[in-house]
């Protein structure tokens, strides 16, 4: 039986202990999380020996600004990204993200306007029915490197943010979809670079830049699409050392007023039309391009620009 004095001591001490327990900080989320095709999402996932199984669980456990490290081949399932994060596969195997659901996205990004997202070494497959490989709705910047996205009903990469965003596509592939990469912001504009990337076998276009976005297209190729590279709706594309070949319709196209396509040391061949300026769109040529071997080399009025 508790004595009267002990009871009063409890009344004095108990609330203080409770306050300490309430004030105790939660354990910080780890900066690195590991994920494996043989993992378990019930693991802590902060050591290479006890990895997660899916990217979504890994994303949820890692600290903002942290890194998810893929350690072997597997199907890591679709993921919704809501914070700064790096998801990296450094040649550890094939990191598949299959999205078999009609209208779904393999990777959806709804991060904050200052958040930075890095994706590296991922292989995305939409089975011909999923909407997008990577769909960016919001983020401060997105860097995609060494990724492959195939068989998507809307686009391999749909960049449609609601605020201004910077974008880097480096050594990326977008193929066998309705579109390769579609840069179509809903608000603000996208600025950045597409470098050494490949867009092939898409029903509509390989690359489209529109709605005030400004992109550099450096190296790489766009082939066997309907149109290779499109600037539309006030979009600006500066292409250098780029190849747009064997497209059913046009290699390089500026489709309307305010859209600008700048061509330097680039190649268009095997297209119905090599390069086209239509409805007030503007094509600027640095006079060092190869537009041979098309049904028609050019359509519309081009502006010759001297290099400086």
Report d(CA 124, CA 74) in Å as an integer: 12
Report d(CA 124, CA 157) in Å as an integer: 10
Decide: helix, strand or coil at residue 13.
helix
Domains in the chain: boundaries? 204-308
Report d(CA 154, CA 132) in Å as an integer: 6
- pTM recorded for the entire structure: 0.91
Report d(CA 134, CA 278) in Å as an integer: 30
**Which of the two residues, 255 and 14, has the higher pLDDT score?**
255
Report d(CA 12, CA 246) in Å as an integer: 83
Decide: helix, strand or coil at residue 17.
helix
Question: Which tokens sit at 209?
Answer: 């830049």
Q: What is the pLDDT of residues 248-295, one digit of tens each?
A: 999 999 999 999 999 999 999 999 999 999 999 999 999 999 999 999
What would the DSSP string read from start to end of 282-307? EEEE-S--B--SSSEEEES-EEE---
Q: Using a pLDDT cut of 70, give the percent of the chain over it.
A: 91
Quick one: how many helices (H) and strands (E) in the chain? Answer: 2, 31
Report d(CA 300, CA 298) in Å as an integer: 7
Q: pLDDT band for position 18 (50/70/90)?
A: very low
Question: Which tokens sit at 15?
Answer: 């609330």
Q: How much is the mean pLDDT over the chain?
A: 93
Look at residues 275, 274, 297, 295 and name the one whose alpha carbon lies nearest to residue 284: 275
């Amino acid at each position: 039986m508790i004595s009267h004095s002990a009871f009063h001591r409890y009344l004095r001490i108990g609330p203080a202990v409770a306050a300490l327990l309430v004030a105790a900080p939660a354990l910080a989320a780890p900066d690195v999380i590991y994920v494996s095709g043989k993992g378990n999402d019930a693991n802590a996932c902060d050591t290479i020996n006890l990895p997660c199984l899916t990217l979504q669980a890994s994303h949820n456990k890692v600290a903002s600004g942290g890194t998810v490290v893929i350690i072997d081949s597997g199907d890591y399932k679709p993921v919704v990204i809501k914070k700064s994060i790096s998801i990296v596969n450094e040649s550890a195997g094939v990191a598949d993200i299959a999205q078999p659901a009609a209208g779904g996205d393999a990777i959806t990004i709804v991060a904050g306007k200052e958040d930075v997202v890095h994706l590296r070494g991922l292989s995305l497959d939409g089975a011909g029915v999923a909407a997008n490989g990577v769909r960016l709705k919001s983020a401060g910047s997105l860097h995609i490197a060494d990724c492959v996205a195939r068989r998507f009903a809307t686009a391999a990469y749909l960049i449609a943010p609601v605020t201004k965003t910077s974008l880097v596509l480096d050594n990326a592939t977008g193929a066998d979809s309705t579109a390769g990469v579609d840069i179509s912001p809903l608000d603000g504009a996208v600025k950045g670079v597409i470098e050494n990337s490949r867009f092939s076998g898409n029903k509509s276009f390989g690359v489209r830049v529109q709605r005030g976005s400004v992109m550099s297209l450096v190296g790489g190729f766009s082939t066997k699409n309907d149109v290779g590279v499109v600037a539309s709706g006030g979009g600006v594309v500066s292409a250098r050392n780029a190849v747009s070949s064997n497209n059913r319709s046009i290699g390089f196209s500026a489709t309307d007023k305010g859209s600008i396509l700048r061509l330097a040391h680039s190649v268009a061949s095997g297209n119905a039309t090599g390069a086209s300026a239509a409805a007030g769109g503007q094509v600027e040529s640095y006079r060092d391009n190869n537009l041979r071997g098309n049904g028609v080399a050019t359509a519309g009025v081009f502006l010759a620009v001297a290099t400086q």
